[in-house]
Structure 1
Amino acid sequence: MSNPFDVLIDSYLDKQVGFDAGFLSKSLSSGLQQHLCQLHSDGQMSTASIGNKEEKDPHQQMRGDHIYWLDKNHDNIFEQEFLHRVDDFIAYLNQTCYTGINASEFHYAVYKEGAGYKRHLDQFRNDGNRKYSLINYLNMDWLEADGGHLLVYPDSGKQQILPQSQTAVFFNSAEMEHEVTVANRQRMSITGWLKQV
């Protein structure tokens, strides 16, 4: 009997980019979106930067999103449900693919109209803990004309992914270059990394 996480894992093994249009339930995606909108409205989001504590660039021109880190100690049922789902995914990934993942970190991301993120890798030059990137989209009724596509660059050539709600994308953080094209409306996601620490 197959596991629901097989869709994401099998597509990753087959094409270097895992894709599941129904990784999040409709109710969970909607709840996370509402929570993110409230955080943004309350001024809780921070301007995103490039690099980690040792190599942070406060004047970067690479990305234009605002972020808020998720935490299991936060008192929000949707955030808790999402992080538990990630834990279940990690457990299954370790069981089936022997990845040795033992930590994760995730943040909400909001791109305002006109913002994007230039082509990059997710792993820091001075820190190899990030092994896999996992992106979850929270945008209802997203259209091609709305822009904000995720572009990924596997060996087979460029792929373009619409950031539609409930969708998850999964790839190797050190190997898969990717970018976010300019969004023509506000664009929301949860982006994070599965780590070995």
Structure 2
Amino acid sequence: MTNTFDLLIDSYLDNNIGVDTGFLNAALCNGLQQNILQLQKDDLMTAAGIGNKEVKDTHQKMRGDKIYWMDKSHDNIFEQEFLQRVEDFIEYLNRTCYTGINGYEFHYAVYEEGSFYKRHKDQFKNDSDRKYSLISYLNDDWMEEDGGQLVVYQNDTAQKIQPQSQTSVFFKSDEMEHEVATSNRSRMSVTGWLKRS
């Protein structure tokens, strides 16, 4: 019997980059989109820096997205559903792949027109808790000319992934260099990390 998480895990095991074009259902994606639109309306999205608390650089030119951290205490029905799906995924991942994940953190991310994130890895140099990156996209009818592709580099090749609604991408935070190409329209996602401390 297959599990709903097998596609993401199996594609990761095959290629070091897991991709599932149906990881989130359409209703959940729509609810998370509406959350982002409300956060923007309420002016609660903040410019992302680089680095963690110890070495944060808010004047960087690496990235141009705005973020808002998720938290179960927000008591938002769509955040709760998303984070429950993450917890179910972690439980299955630990049971089948023995990864020992015992924490996570996720935020909404918006790249406005003209924004990008230059090539980088997700694991901090002074903190190795982030083990896996998990990105879920919330953009309907995304076209090639809209830009904003996730570009993941591996063995001198670059894999481009469209940030299409319901698609999720999964890879090791300390191994995969990646970037977000310049976006030609507003691009929404939920981005986060599975952690082991």
Q: Which moved more, 1:150-159 or 1:167-176?
A: 150-159
Determine the structure 2 residue equivalent to 1:87: 87
Determine the structure 1 residue equivalent to 2:194: 194
Q: Secondary structure at the match of 1:158?
A: strand
Q: Hey, what's the Cα distance between the residues in 2 that align with 1:34 and 1:161?
A: 23
Provide TM-score, normalisation by structure 1: 0.99
Residue type at the aligned position of 1:86: V
1:83 deviates by: 0.1
Note the residue ranges of structure 1 that are not aligned, 5 or more in a row: none
Determine the structure 2 residue equivalent to 1:134: 134
Q: Secondary structure at the match of 2:67?
A: strand
What's the CA shift string for 1:19-46, capped at 9, x where partnerless? 0000000100111011111111110111
Provide TM-score, normalisation by structure 2: 0.99
Determine the structure 2 residue equivalent to 1:157: 157
Residue type at the aligned position of 1:177: E
Alignment identity in percent?
67
Show the 5 A alignment for 1:166-181. Answer: 166-181=166-181
**1:132·1:170 contact (CA, 8 Å) conserved in 2?**
yes
Determine the structure 1 residue equivalent to 2:182: 182
Runs of 4+ in 1 over 6 A off after TM superposition: none
1:155 deviates by: 2.6
What's the CA shift string for 1:98-120, capped at 9, x where partnerless? 00000000000001100000000
1:156 deviates by: 6.5
Q: Hey, what's the Cα distance between the residues in 2 that align with 1:85 and 1:190?
A: 13
Kindly tell me the number of residue pairs found equivalent between the two proteins.
197
Q: Hey, what's the Cα distance between the residues in 1 that align with 2:155 and 2:16?
A: 8
Determine the structure 2 residue equivalent to 1:146: 146
Q: Which moved more, 1:31-40 or 1:150-159?
A: 150-159
Q: Secondary structure at the match of 1:73?
A: helix
1:53 deviates by: 0.7
